[in-house]
């Protein structure tokens, strides 16, 4: 982050604004909306700004800026069109360690003004770090449509019941779970519909009927997709945002992990071939133990949990221990990576069926039903086949697949690091011989690979 977002309480605090034009007017309105004690310094100011200062009984100093004007300011805003003056203000503020904003000049600023969605007491701020204020305003406009004005009433209802809920529940985790139920259910809908009294009544009833008992744990097996965070489902994101603990492996992109609740515990349980941070059985039991502690646990899995993700093994263990669980499907690597590589897995002219197989089995062998994989009009997708690629090519050819059958290897598919290598069964090992390939990878074999040159759109 270029700037750390913070919310400042300026109520009754001295703030200095230097400038008297239209830009200074906009900043003055914003600062006065936060109940700041505003002083404006400028040789002259426009009539609208003068009227605003008079209305709010603000102090106006008709003069050129001087460092003595800083006095006890908690914040300084430079809104002049003179670069030298702005630099002078910035230097003076930095020497005194006072936050300073130079309008439209993030280099001279130690703080910046975001685009704001005001649903007081709910405030949402969007910033581009000063690099594109117009983009920040466009994003604010989008968010405005997602945040009804009723959210202000919802926040006030929560404030009204805050002390009651705190007295009712003995720990913060129980309180958080209660509030999530309130704010994501029918009570919040009543508020947004303008029925505050009914919402208040339901909230009190819910509080009276909720026992102060340890929360029950639950596990969410969430498919994180092949890498691009935009491919997450809404449900996946919602559960990621409310989990207490997140277990993830090396197939889950860092950008996706960052979308989890910020204060959630994060446990890496990654596995590489012949190098497991935690054996699968230990992961299964860890999920059980965390849930028995009352935790809500997200098990993030690359792709889809039920397609070569060992999700079935994990929920078997959960079921054996009577642990509640949910499974959230994800876009599997075959679908996501093929689409981003411009390779349709089926096509009326080339392939009428598709088969997913794993590149290595439980005992690390590649003992597959090769004869079944050699069929006309079929696309075969190999997961985790990088190490065994020479054997895959050799076995398919030996069992009757034409040596010139098109083949693709997709490295880190759907991410900005995606690379796609195309060749034939006979030549692919040589094509990759001098390449450094980083997992995860996906291998596609079939005539549909021919379409990549025409249909590729991602890279």
Could you tell me if 240 and 326 lie in one domain? yes
332 known ligand binder: yes
Q: Which residue is catalytic, options 244, 249, 295, 301?
A: 249
342 known ligand binder: no
Nearest to 339 by CA among 446, 224, 448, 223: 448
Whether 128 maps to a domain, the answer reads no
The token duo for 68 is 């003595």
Whether 132 maps to a domain, the answer reads no
304 known ligand binder: yes
Could you tell me if 254 and 175 lie in one domain? no
309 known ligand binder: no
114 known ligand binder: no
Is the pLDDT assigned to residue 145 strictly greater than 90?
no
- CATH value at residue 33: 3.40.50.720
CA dist., res. 288 & res. 286, Å (int) = 5
Residue located via tokens 């997992």: 439
pTM: 0.71
CA dist., res. 41 & res. 56, Å (int) = 16
- CATH value at residue 405: 3.30.950.10
Q: Taking all residues of the chain, what is their mean pLDDT, rounded to a whole number? A: 92
185 known ligand binder: no
Last residue of a domain, one of 310, 331, 352: 331
Report residue 363's pLDDT band, with 50, 70 and 90 as the boundaries: low
Last residue of a domain, one of 331, 359, 385: 331
Could you tell me if 324 and 341 lie in one domain? no
Could you tell me if 107 and 204 lie in one domain? no
CA dist., res. 218 & res. 256, Å (int) = 21
Tens of pLDDT, residues 314-361: 999 999 999 999 999 999 999 999 999 999 999 999 999 999 999 875
Report residue 129's pLDDT band, with 50, 70 and 90 as the boundaries: confident
39 touches 17 (CB < 8 A):
yes
Q: 26-30, 135-139, 144-148, 266-270: which range is least confident on average?
A: 144-148
The total number of structural domains in the chain stands at: 4
Could you tell me if 230 and 318 lie in one domain? yes
Q: What is the pLDDT of residue 277?
A: 66
Whether 144 maps to a domain, the answer reads no
Domain range enclosing 177:
150-208
* φ/ψ (deg, to 5) at 18: -105, 120
307 known ligand binder: yes
Tens of pLDDT, residues 70-111: 988 999 999 999 999 999 999 999 999 999 999 999 999 999
422 touches 408 (CB < 8 A):
yes
Could you tell me if 48 and 100 lie in one domain? yes
44 known ligand binder: yes
Could you tell me if 175 and 280 lie in one domain? no
Last residue of a domain, one of 331, 359, 381: 331
Instruction: To the nearest 10°, report the CA torsion of 158, 118, 48, 37.
Output: 50
Catalytic annotation present for 263 = no
Whether 143 maps to a domain, the answer reads no
120 known ligand binder: no
Could you tell me if 201 and 231 lie in one domain? no
Could you tell me if 223 and 315 lie in one domain? yes
Whether 36 maps to a domain, the answer reads yes
Could you tell me if 320 and 341 lie in one domain? no
CA dist., res. 432 & res. 280, Å (int) = 31
Whether 126 maps to a domain, the answer reads no
Could you tell me if 320 and 399 lie in one domain? no
Q: Which residue is catalytic, options 153, 156, 181, 271?
A: 271
Q: What is the pLDDT of residue 278?
A: 81
CA dist., res. 226 & res. 228, Å (int) = 6
Whether 213 maps to a domain, the answer reads no
- CATH value at residue 303: 3.40.1010.10
Whether 293 maps to a domain, the answer reads yes
Q: What is the pLDDT of residue 271?
A: 65
Could you tell me if 308 and 386 lie in one domain? no
Is the pLDDT assigned to residue 160 strictly greater than 60?
yes
Catalytic annotation present for 281 = no
Tens of pLDDT, residues 398-408: 999 999 999 99
């Amino acid at each position: 982050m270029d700037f750390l977002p913070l919310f400042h309480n300026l109520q009754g605090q001295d703030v200095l604004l230097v400038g008297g034009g239209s830009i200074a007017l906009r900043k003055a309105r914003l600062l006065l909306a936060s109940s700041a004690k505003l002083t404006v310094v400028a040789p002259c100011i426009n009539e609208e700004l003068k009227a605003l200062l008079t209305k709010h009984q603000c102090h106006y100093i008709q003069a050129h800026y001087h460092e003595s004007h800083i006095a006890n300011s908690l914040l300084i805003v430079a809104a002049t069109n003179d670069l030298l003056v702005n630099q002078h203000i910035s230097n003076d503020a930095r020497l005194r360690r006072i936050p300073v904003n130079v309008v439209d000049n993030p280099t001279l600023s130690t703080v910046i003004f975001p685009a704001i969605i005001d649903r007081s007491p709910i405030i949402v701020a969007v910033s581009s770090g000063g690099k594109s204020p117009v983009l920040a305003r466009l994003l604010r406009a989008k968010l405005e449509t997602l945040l009804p004005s009723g959210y202000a009433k919802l926040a006030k209802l929560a404030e009204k019941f805050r002390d009651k809920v705190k007295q009712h529940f003995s720990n913060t985790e129980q309180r958080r779970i209660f509030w999530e139920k309130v704010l994501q259910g029918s009570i919040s809908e009543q508020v947004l519909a303008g029925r505050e009294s009914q919402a208040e009544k339901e909230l009190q009833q819910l509080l009276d009927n909720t026992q102060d008992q340890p929360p029950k744990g639950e596990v969410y097996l969430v498919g994180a997709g092949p890498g691009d965070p935009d491919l997450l489902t809404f449900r996946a994101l919602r559960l990621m945002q409310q989990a207490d603990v997140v277990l993830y492996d090396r197939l889950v992109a860092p950008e996706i992990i960052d979308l989890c609740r910020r204060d959630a515990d994060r446990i890496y349980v990654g596995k590489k071939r012949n190098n497991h941070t935690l054996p699968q059985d230990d992961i299964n039991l860890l999920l059980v133990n965390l849930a028995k502690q009352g935790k809500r646990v997200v098990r993030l899995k690359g792709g889809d949990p039920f397609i070569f993700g060992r999700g079935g093994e994990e929920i078997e263990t959960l079921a054996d221990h009577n642990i509640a669980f949910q499974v959230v499907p994800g876009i599997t690597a075959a679908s996501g990576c093929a689409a981003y590589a411009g390779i349709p897995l089926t096509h009326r002219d080339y392939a009428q069926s598709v088969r997913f197989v794993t590149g290595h089995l439980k005992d690390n062998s590649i003992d597959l039903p090769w004869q079944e994989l050699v069929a006309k009009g079929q696309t075969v997708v190999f997961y985790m086949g990088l190490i065994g690629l020479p054997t895959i090519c050799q076995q398919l050819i030996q069992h009757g697949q034409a040596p010139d059958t098109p083949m693709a290897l997709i490295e880190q598919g759907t991410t900005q690091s995606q690379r796609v290598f195309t060749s034939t069964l006979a030549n692919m090992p040589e094509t990759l011989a001098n390449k450094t390939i980083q997992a995860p990878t996906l291998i596609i074999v079939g005539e549909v690979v021919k379409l990549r040159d025409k249909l590729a759109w991602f890279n």
